[in-house]
Amino acid sequence: MEASAEPLGELARRLQERCLADGLSVATAESCTGGLVGHILTEVPGSSGYYRGGIVSYADQAKVELLDVPVATLEAHGAVSAQVALAMAQGVRHRLHSDLAVAVTGIAGPGGGSDAKPVGLTYVAVADAAGEVVRRHLWSGNRAANKREAAATAIGLLLERLGEGSGE
């Protein structure tokens, strides 16, 4: 099933169990989700055992100064792009000294969309010691639903990177 069909809290519990068992730490870099991924992870008691924290880079300045996203990358590809998602994941992993890092950048809506980058377009990236992966998504819900889809996908991608299935 889709990662997002599994309740958010259950995804967070699975991630925590796996990270605590393996001694792995996690950090988050969030744009359109605004802190929702961190909120979900920290709803689970004991999350401080593996979740180091995160950066909510709503303004582009925060992406550059706090996550080390190159200005040239932002200017060439835009804030909602695979390149920026990857740079955010790498940046927060470095800044928070975590084993794994996940980044989300997208257009939650209802404003901010364009023909090239419509509302719902979201990139989710994960970085770890072995490298990084990024995925493109296009959701069709309202702002709140798009944020939740993005958060579920972010936690699901962390689980996938750890070799955990999405509950199938």
Residues lying near a copy of itself in the complex (CB under 8 A) = 28, 30, 32-39, 41-43, 45-48, 51-59, 61-62, 65-66, 95-97, 108-112, 143-144, 147
> Minimal distance in Å, beta carbon 65 to a copy of itself?
7
Of the two residues 70 and 113, which places its CB atom closer to a copy of itself in the complex? 113
Cβ proximity to a copy of itself: between 58 and 137 the closer is 58
Decide whether 19 or 32 has the Cβ nearer to a copy of itself. Answer: 32
Contact (Cβ atoms closer than 8 angstroms) between residue 55 and residue 30? yes
The residues, any chain, with a CB within 8 Å of residue 33's CB and separated by 6 or more, are 104, 106, 108, 147, 150, 151, 154
Reported as type and span, the H/E element at residue 74 is helix 71-77
Burial of 115 from C-beta contacts in 10 A (0-12 / 13-18 / 19+): exposed
Find the shortest distance in angstroms from Cβ 168 to a copy of itself: 28
The packing angle between helices 60-67 and 82-96, to 10°, is: 40
Nearer to a copy of itself by Cβ, of 125 and 168: the residue is 125
- Nearest approach in angstroms of CB 8 to a copy of itself is 12
What spatial distance separates the first Cα and last Cα of the chain, rounded to whole Å? 6
Comparison of 76 and 144: residue with beta carbon closer to a copy of itself: 144
| Nearest to 155, CA basis, from 126, 123, 134 | 126
Nearest distance from C-beta of residue 45 to a copy of itself, angstroms? 6
